[in-house]
Structure 1
Amino acid sequence: MAAAAAGLVAAAAALGALLMAPGLTQPHGQGPPEGSGAGPRGGAAAERRPPGRMDQALLLVRNELPAQGLRLAALSGSCHQCLYQFLAFVPPSNGSLRKPGAAAVMVDTQHPLTLLLNGSVGDRELCKIQYHFGEFGNYSLVVKTLSASTKTVSCDLVINEGPINSYLPLVFAFLVYMGILAILIVGRIFMKIDPVRNWVYKKLNPRETDHLINSVECGASANIIAIWWSHEGARSSKWGNKRKRKMGRTNTELGSPNTTDSVSSDPTLHLWSTASRQRLRSLDTFRGLSLVIMVFVNYGGGKYWFFKHESWNGLTVADLVFPWFVFIMGTSISLSLSSMLRRGSSKQKLLGKILWRSFLLILLGIIVVNPNYCLGPLSWDNLRIPGVLQRLGFTYLVVAALELLFTRAGAESGTLEMPCPALQDILPYWPQWIFILMLEVIWLCLTFLLPVPGCPRGYLGPGGIGDFGNYPNCTGGAAGYIDRLLLGEKHIYQHPSSSVIYQTTMPYDPEGILGTINTILMAFLGLQAGKIILFYKDQHKQIMSRFIIWSIVMGIISAILTKCSKEEGFIPINKNLWSISYVTTTSCFAFILLLLIYYLVDVKRLWSGAPFFYPGMNSILVYTGHEVFENYFPFKWKMQDSQSHAEHLTQNLTATTLWVIISYLLYRRRIFWKI
């Protein structure tokens, strides 16, 4: 696997060279000369990029109306029921077409825009245009009168200079990583050929190979092999004991299944290897995949909008990874606690471990991850109390304690008689389901019945300019109100994702108190996936069919709650609120993804899980490390052009790749951070 690490390094280097090549990016401010006219789209346009900011285009409004000025306003296509935002006033023409009134504005290119032009006389709507502008494009909007008698006004949008293709860096990045993957696959196939493998081993260890060959030629091969086997056997036995002791200390972080459960006291390498294979690599692969995407989007995701969290309702790539991580945490809890109980650990002792681990996670989030020590020492005045690790810690506490307290002996082995065999992985745990349903009732009551000052009861909107600006200070409804009331405005997140599109001014924390209830639900659904694995051990078809059933059930519930709509459902999908529909939708995807990884990694063994398996084995270290060292080299450096998607993507992919390599090196040395 050293080749895999070298391949990732090569991928990062090649990616940087390709993305920073001339034609894909250009230092900010080096635009085209005036009067250059319309330019071609794509790479040629990128070489003559006009001055501006990333995800913006230049719009020049020309007013040829002699009698009145124009008021230009815009509305983003991603802003639901929002007010038009004033952009500019365009003065009237002075009567000569050679000197029309003009105004230049920068417009957003991430989402389609609706432009509204009203006349200054009577505030009459003259025209409305819907258009999706391209990044760094140069456009003109010409407003003129077609007929003096009818006073018909035309609004023509002209492309002065074509936009660049801001998605080309993503294509290049994909091709680079796929090229490295293809090389590794071909190399692995060639290594299965005996002559090739022997030649490689000879090149890597020429002395040892020559010594063995010479010994065989001298006719002493039998004795030497016997001596070598005896020596290696003793060393392997010692090495096996040492490795097992280390594996006994490997991470059971967030409930990861322990690999030493089936290892007997026989200190042989064979038994250790057998125990290692019993660990479900698909779980660590799933966790690692979620973590790698999380690191990438936290580092910026190349500044692409779909790698950022949705402004309010809806779902992006960035919105998937945290619930997936919570889901697989629940799965691991089920396997881990079952394993430790089978080994004879007392529930009291396990409860103490659960409490201690939860405390450490919460403390780690508040003291280490949340504060930015680059800005100064820790200050309680504005310290954020909620956070990712805090929510993970509390969720782990509730779900693990729930599983520990209500687990039944013999349930997982199938020895209990069930009235309905099809529900044998559910019915033995009916007290847990009642507890979870009670939590959901509490969430529904608080969300829809709690009176919030100045806001309508049951409000789920973003506030700001949303809902036509009627509730500007109601961001998050009851969820935001509870956090501000119990934690204080200065101790929650100050820059929510809704602040850009919806221009909200109220602080709102996506990891707040009320949303934690549905995070517990997400982990509990992951716990259910773990129960399926335990109940149907080695029955791959049964396990996969149950995953499919659960995915379908969750999908149906999501369709009902959302009415298959982004904005018009009973409870829209919302990551900020951690709405029920958000949990059911992401868990639907989680069951499908776990099914695919389980099939490829543990059933058919077509994939080892690399490279995601390695960060999955050290998830707490990777997550904490990427947060703490975010602003340090080599994870971040001063950019030549901060307004380039290509340079941001290069930096973010390089940083993410480095953490994968670090986790691989730690795995090779059997270093796992356990809390």
Structure 2
Amino acid sequence: MMILVDDGGGAYEKMDHSPWNGCTLADFVMPFFLFIVGVAIALALKRVPRAVDAIRKITIRTLKLIFWGILLQGGYSHAPDDLSYGVDMKHIRWMGILQRIALVYFVVAIIETFTTKLRKTAVLGSGKFAICRCISMAVNDGKRFTVPCGVRGSLGPACNAVGYVDRQIWGINHLYSQPVWIRSKDCTYDSPNAGPLRADAAPWCLAPFEPEGFLSSISAILSGTIGVHYGHVLIHFKLHSERLKHWALMGFALLVCGIILHFTNAIPINKQLYSISYVCFTAGAAGLVLSGFYILIDIWGLRTPFLFLEWIGMNAMLVFVMAAQGIFPAFINGWYYETPNNSLVHWIHKHIFVNVWHSERLGTLLYVIFAEIVFWGVVSGILHKLGIYWKL
């Protein structure tokens, strides 16, 4: 889904991240990933022989994720403007996708390690821990609305506590320099593809903003926590009907909660701020999607049509680095070229897909599906047959 929205979002605006409030297809990627990380943690740590060994493995994996995150999104894998070698440490980006996943994984896994014995008898015990964590995240949201940022309690892009805290911790030079709000109608005349800036555009339109910042990453822990609870249901309940009942009930409850908070304007659904309504809405959707796949694959036995997803999942890190982060296309094109349009990847995109279908949008969508998603599904399947996996 990340490949689809990253490379197809330019042609289909509804796929790309919402400029501010609201939720598009791209906004489901991060919380879905954190949700399934939580499910995996529950399964992996259902038995912890020695806490010391578990903490050591958790810490090492966390550090590896942070290392790869800084390497891929800190600026090391992108060509500087002057095409010189090296990275300007004064402008390196410290936070990013893998760094957020690392933080969520570390906190949730450590909690699971120390609470395993307290929840062995029933899922009810894990539910209590989940409720406690939900309360703590709600308190965090309360702090978010009271941290001073020019206008106390503001949730707008020009002034909000998430951006304020990140500027204080990391410094403005270490934040993401291409915020998605540039596509909003307040900043550009044409929202799709971030057209030219309006003559009356506000100064904040080009201000850096970290979508994977510190405060919002703390809220993101809740997405992983909810996934842990779904994992506990899988472990403790053996009947399909019992698992689906718990999953569907919690999924619908979270979904409705997020919708109510958003449409009453109490707390808008906002990926950039990672608001509590966004957590509830996306986690509820993730729970229902998991339930749907469970019905199709585990109950109805329709595994073959979804094998490519299983293969990609076994080499998720490889596909993320090579495809979603653009390392493989950069390798094919060469790291430096005169213009992005003068490359092999662009030629394939234009002449094999766009020109054949006589549509930029449809050609782009088919290119993403077949030349990227299907391609990496096949590559992952071959690697699976050869027993080759990239694990952290």
TM range (shorter): 0.7 to 0.9
| Cα distance change of structure 1 residues 497 and 390 upon mapping to structure 2, 3 Å threshold | same
Distance 1:541 1:637 in 2: 49
Distance apart, 1:347 and its partner CA? 1.0
Contact 2:63 2:102 (8 Å CA) reproduced? yes
What are the within-5 Å matches in structure 2 for residues 449-464 of structure 1?
Answer: 449-452=146-149, 455-463=150-158
Distance apart, 1:315 and its partner CA? 1.0
1:655 aligns with 2:372: yes
What are the within-5 Å matches in structure 2 for residues 250-289 of structure 1?
Answer: none
Distance apart, 1:430 and its partner CA? 3.4
State the match for 2:287 in structure 1: 591
Aligned residues: 348
| Cα distance change of structure 1 residues 640 and 555 upon mapping to structure 2, 3 Å threshold | closer
Amino acid at match of 1:666: L
| Cα distance change of structure 1 residues 542 and 603 upon mapping to structure 2, 3 Å threshold | same
| Cα distance change of structure 1 residues 669 and 482 upon mapping to structure 2, 3 Å threshold | same
State the match for 1:544 in structure 2: 244
| Cα distance change of structure 1 residues 499 and 301 upon mapping to structure 2, 3 Å threshold | closer
SS in 1 for 2:209: coil
| Cα distance change of structure 1 residues 636 and 655 upon mapping to structure 2, 3 Å threshold | farther
Distance apart, 1:443 and its partner CA? 3.0
1:438 aligns with 2:143: no
Distance apart, 1:511 and its partner CA? 0.6
What are the within-5 Å matches in structure 2 for residues 489-528 of structure 1?
Answer: 489-501=172-184, 502-503=186-187, 504-528=205-229
Distance apart, 1:509 and its partner CA? 1.1
- What TM-score, normalized to structure 1? 0.49
Contact 2:126 2:229 (8 Å CA) reproduced? no
State the match for 1:309 in structure 2: 17
Distance 1:550 1:429 in 2: 11
| Cα distance change of structure 1 residues 655 and 636 upon mapping to structure 2, 3 Å threshold | farther
1:297 aligns with 2:12: no
Distance 1:405 1:662 in 2: 39
State the match for 1:555 in structure 2: 255
| Cα distance change of structure 1 residues 299 and 370 upon mapping to structure 2, 3 Å threshold | farther
Which of 624-633 and 489-498 deviates more? 624-633
Distance apart, 1:481 and its partner CA? 0.7
Amino acid at match of 1:555: L
State the match for 1:384 in structure 2: 93
SS in 1 for 2:294: helix
Larger Rg: 1
What are the within-5 Å matches in structure 2 for residues 142-291 of structure 1?
Answer: none
Q: 1:572 aligns with which of 263, 268, 280?
A: 268
| Cα distance change of structure 1 residues 616 and 649 upon mapping to structure 2, 3 Å threshold | same
Q: Deviations over 1:17-45 (max 9, x none)?
A: xxxxxxxxxxxxxxxxxxxxxxxxxxxxx
Contact 2:309 2:377 (8 Å CA) reproduced? yes
| Cα distance change of structure 1 residues 528 and 431 upon mapping to structure 2, 3 Å threshold | closer
State the match for 1:374 in structure 2: 79
Q: 1:625 aligns with which of 308, 319, 322?
A: 322
Amino acid at match of 2:115: F
1:325 aligns with 2:24: no
| Cα distance change of structure 1 residues 630 and 300 upon mapping to structure 2, 3 Å threshold | farther
Question: As a proportion of its length, which structure holds more helix?
Answer: 2
Distance apart, 1:320 and its partner CA? 1.0
Distance 2:329 2:215 in 1: 29
What are the within-5 Å matches in structure 2 for residues 16-165 of structure 1?
Answer: none
| Cα distance change of structure 1 residues 550 and 432 upon mapping to structure 2, 3 Å threshold | closer
State the match for 1:396 in structure 2: 105
| Cα distance change of structure 1 residues 578 and 569 upon mapping to structure 2, 3 Å threshold | same
Distance 2:55 2:105 in 1: 12
Distance apart, 1:672 and its partner CA? 1.3
- What TM-score, normalized to structure 2? 0.83
1:427 aligns with 2:125: yes
Amino acid at match of 2:109: A
SS in 2 for 1:636: helix
State the match for 2:164 in structure 1: 481
Amino acid at match of 1:357: R
1:645 aligns with 2:361: yes
Distance apart, 1:630 and its partner CA? 4.1
Contact 1:302 1:650 (8 Å CA) reproduced? no
Q: 2:231 aligns with which of 517, 530, 551?
A: 530
Amino acid at match of 1:673: W
SS in 2 for 1:541: helix
SS in 2 for 1:426: helix
Q: Deviations over 1:274-324 (max 9, x none)?
A: xxxxxxxxxxxxxxxxxxx11121224462101110111111111112211
Distance 2:86 2:329 in 1: 17
Distance apart, 1:640 and its partner CA? 4.7
1:364 aligns with 2:364: no
Q: Deviations over 1:382-410 (max 9, x none)?
A: 1111100000001100000011111216x
| Cα distance change of structure 1 residues 429 and 320 upon mapping to structure 2, 3 Å threshold | closer
| Cα distance change of structure 1 residues 640 and 666 upon mapping to structure 2, 3 Å threshold | closer
Distance apart, 1:429 and its partner CA? 5.9
| Structure 1: stretches of 5+ with no match in the other structure | 1-292, 415-423, 464-473
Distance 1:617 1:386 in 2: 25
1:352 aligns with 2:56: yes
| Cα distance change of structure 1 residues 517 and 440 upon mapping to structure 2, 3 Å threshold | farther
Distance apart, 1:335 and its partner CA? 0.3
| Structure 2: stretches of 5+ with no match in the other structure | 188-204, 334-343
Distance apart, 1:487 and its partner CA? 0.4
SS in 2 for 1:577: coil
Distance apart, 1:428 and its partner CA? 5.0
Distance 2:125 2:18 in 1: 37
| Cα distance change of structure 1 residues 323 and 431 upon mapping to structure 2, 3 Å threshold | closer
Larger RCO, structures 1/2 (Cα 8 Å, 6+ apart): 2
Amino acid at match of 2:132: I
Distance apart, 1:433 and its partner CA? 3.8
Amino acid at match of 2:364: H
Distance apart, 1:369 and its partner CA? 4.1
Distance 1:301 1:671 in 2: 31
CA RMSD, 1 decimal? 2.1
| Cα distance change of structure 1 residues 311 and 595 upon mapping to structure 2, 3 Å threshold | same
Distance apart, 1:522 and its partner CA? 0.4
Instruction: State, as a whole percentage, how many aligned pairs show the same letter.
Output: 30
SS in 2 for 1:519: helix
State the match for 1:407 in structure 2: 116
